[in-house]
Amino acid sequence: MYPTTLSKWLQALVFTCFVFIPTSGIAKEITIGMGNFEPYYIAKGDTGIFTDLIVAVFHRLPDHEPRFIFGRPNNRLWRDFNNGKVDAVSNLFDSVETKSCRSDPIFRFRDVAVTRTKSDVNLESIRDLRGKRTIAFQGAKEFFGPEFSSAVSEGSYSEASEPRLQVQALMDNRVDVSIGDMFILLHSIRSKSEKGNLENEMRATEFRIHDILPVVFSRMGFWDLDLCRDFNLALKQVKDSGEYEKIYANYLKSLGLSLVPTQ
């Protein structure tokens, strides 16, 4: 009986040691679906505005390690997430149907209407988009709501899978108005200039920016409800520390402008 009792005691000891082995140094990998438009997503170096925001939050969640999967246009991004191909998704619009947990608002856009300076198109409100040839990003109608959707439906309207296609359509005079983010426009102009292609060279003076759209936000989506909750708590810490606004300010400065108040 003694050997049997000893054997059981040793088994219990081994099990106890196994259960209570410290796991603080083992981070769980979280795959995150990412978009394809700079400067919000920059695959080289795992950076960009949205990427840096996510990294800043995960720095406060040491038990989790983000692994980014870049290059997805919006529709594929959301589809892959809903099909369970990634653990989390960035840039989740409120209009996208999903049974996942949505984070608090994290990704802030500064969307504007852009026209060619030589076109003399004047836009003072969303209503002025009526009758215009307009191009926007995927999901823009749902993103901006009924007023925008109604206005652009009264003209020629299309959506592009990549921001550079919007800028090129405007340059080629195939559209009157391009709806998109100010950061992306400035980045596209700088990228064209750096390539030195004189036929396609663009300058900021060739465009007019019409500030007719509201400041809007998108979210992260998570299948893990506990991680979603913890992410929100860490996001609040990032905002309270000032790191959130600093990330936006640094990128705008890199594009040649100081931070433009948006709230």
* 3-state secondary structure labels for all residues of 72-107: CCHHHHHHHHHCCCCCEEEEECCCCCCCCEECCCCE
pLDDT reading at 141 higher than 60: yes
pLDDT reading at 10 higher than 80: no
Q: Cα–Cα distance between 25 and 33 in angstroms, integer?
A: 25
Q: How confident is the model at residue 27 (pLDDT cuts 50, 70, 90)?
A: confident
Q: Cα–Cα distance between 150 and 20 in angstroms, integer?
A: 60
- Torsion sign (Cα): 153, 157, 161, 162: negative
For residue range 226-239, what is the model confidence (pLDDT) as tens digits?
999 999 999 999 99
For residue range 177-192, what is the model confidence (pLDDT) as tens digits?
999 888 887 787 777 6
Domain ranges of the chain: 26-107+218-254, 111-210
The residues facing 47 across adjacent strands are: 42
Structure confidence at residue 240 (pLDDT): 98
C-beta of residue 181 within 8 angstroms of C-beta of residue 143: no
C-beta of residue 135 within 8 angstroms of C-beta of residue 175: yes
Its pTM surpasses 0.75: no
Q: Are 26-107+218-254 and 111-210 equal in CATH topology? A: yes
Class of domain 26-107+218-254 as given by CATH: alpha beta
CATH topology of domain 111-210: D-Maltodextrin-Binding Protein; domain 2 (3.40.190)
- N-to-C CA span, the chain: 76
